């Protein structure tokens, strides 16, 4: 009986306590059987196809709890190409001389992403890092630049990594306690959008396009409030996607193009956000 409980009710043991007890039993054929293991401590069971709904819930809940416990209320997302190098760095992903030239030219976006993240983090400091916290996909390229810019001024910064066929390790600038790993793209996308106060999108490939259009669709359909959607590099984006053409064809509504703002510099991007939220 709990001596501090005057009702006589004994609380159930904590799951950690039962886990230790379950692992300390004698070694017998029965205790070695997978069926004897506690269900949530059985990796073979937890990774079965039938357990997918449970894994989806856990993957949503784990980062949500960590961010809430940290007091993080809002974020600024940085999307962009993993292949864009740091200025002066090696264009490691280039497959030919043309790609090498273009990636090296686009390295200026690494510098702008780093600078933009610093500006966001300076604003975030005013709320004790509860608002406008920089979040990226946690990998190299523009993602690294975003986390690095926040780390430059001592700000916490989030990385939402995902398991890929070619292993993506988290970049070293992500705050370790805010570094997450996902199996499900869908849950990862939810975590990007759930706290987003702005989306800053730099030149990138299929993944960047996917994330951009996911956000635009949620805003267009009213599933999330409108937030600034800022594209760095007008010349790049007007060649990559032709929103005016889509409007002419009637596949998007007139005015949907106005959901996007084009900028060239970090200062211009932060200016859009500050104006949108009337920040002093």
pLDDT in tens, 118-137: 999 999 999 999 999 999 99
Beta strands in the chain (DSSP E): 75-79, 133-136, 158-162, 179-182, 196-201, 229-232, 260-263
The domains of the chain are located at 72-276
- What's the average model confidence in pLDDT over 172-188? 97
**How many whole angstroms separate alpha carbon 127 and alpha carbon 135?**
16
Q: In what order do the strands lie in the sheet with 158-162?
A: 179-182, 158-162, 133-136, 75-79, 196-201, 229-232, 260-263
In this prediction, residue 70 has a pLDDT band, given cuts at 50, 70 and 90, of very high
Q: Express as a percent the part of the chain with pLDDT over 90.
A: 88
Average pLDDT value for residue range 193-220: 97
Residue for token digits 């073979």? 44
Q: CB–CB of 276/228 below 8 Å?
A: yes
Nearest to 12 by CA among 2, 3, 23, 25: 2
Question: CA dihedral defined by 229, 234, 236, 240, rounded to 10 degrees?
Answer: 60
- Is the predicted pLDDT of residue 183 greater than 50, yes or no? yes
pLDDT at 108 over 80: yes
Reported confidence tier of residue 3, pLDDT bands at 50, 70, 90:
very low
CATH 3.20.20.60 fits 72-276, yes or no: no
Which residues lie below 8 Å from residue 75, measured CB to CB, with a gap of 6+?
132, 133, 134, 135, 158, 195, 196, 197
Per residue in 222-257, pLDDT (tens digit) is 999 999 999 999 999 999 999 999 999 999 998 899
Q: How confident is the model over 73-102, as pLDDT tens digits?
A: 999 999 999 999 999 999 999 999 999 999
Q: Model confidence at 8, in pLDDT bands (50, 70, 90)?
A: low
């Amino acid at each position: 009986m709990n001596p501090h409980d005057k009702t006589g009710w004994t609380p159930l043991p904590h799951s950690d306590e039962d886990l230790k007890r379950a692992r300390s039993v004698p070694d017998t054929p029965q205790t070695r059987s997978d069926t004897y293991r506690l269900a949530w401590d059985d990796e073979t069971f937890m990774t079965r196809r039938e357990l997918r709904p449970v894994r989806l819930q856990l993957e949503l809940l784990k980062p949500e709890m960590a961010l809430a416990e940290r007091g993080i209320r809002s974020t600024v997302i940085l999307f962009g190409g993993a292949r864009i190098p740091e200025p002066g760095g090696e264009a490691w992903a280039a497959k030919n001389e043309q790609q090498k030239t273009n990636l090296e030219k686009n390295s200026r976006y690494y510098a702008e992403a780093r600078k933009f993240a610093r500006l966001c983090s300076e604003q975030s400091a005013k709320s004790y890092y509860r608002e406008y916290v920089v979040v990226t996909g946690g990998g190299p390229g523009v993602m690294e630049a975003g986390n690095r810019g926040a780390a430059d001024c001592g700000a916490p910064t989030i990385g939402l990594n995902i398991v890929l066929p070619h292993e993506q390790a988290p970049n070293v600038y992500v705050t370790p306690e805010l570094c997450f790993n996902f199996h499900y793209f869908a849950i990862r996308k939810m975590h990007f959008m759930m706290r987003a106060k702005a989306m800053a999108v730099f030149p990138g490939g299929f993944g960047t396009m996917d994330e951009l259009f996911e956000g635009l669709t949620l805003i267009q359909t009213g599933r999330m409030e409108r937030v600034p959607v800022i594209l760095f590099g007008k010349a790049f984006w007007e060649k990559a996607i032709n929103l005016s053409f889509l409007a002419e064809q009637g596949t998007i509504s007139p005015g949907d193009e106005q959901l996007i703002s084009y900028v060239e510099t970090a200062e211009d991007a932060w200016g859009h956000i500050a104006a949108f939220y009337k920040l002093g």
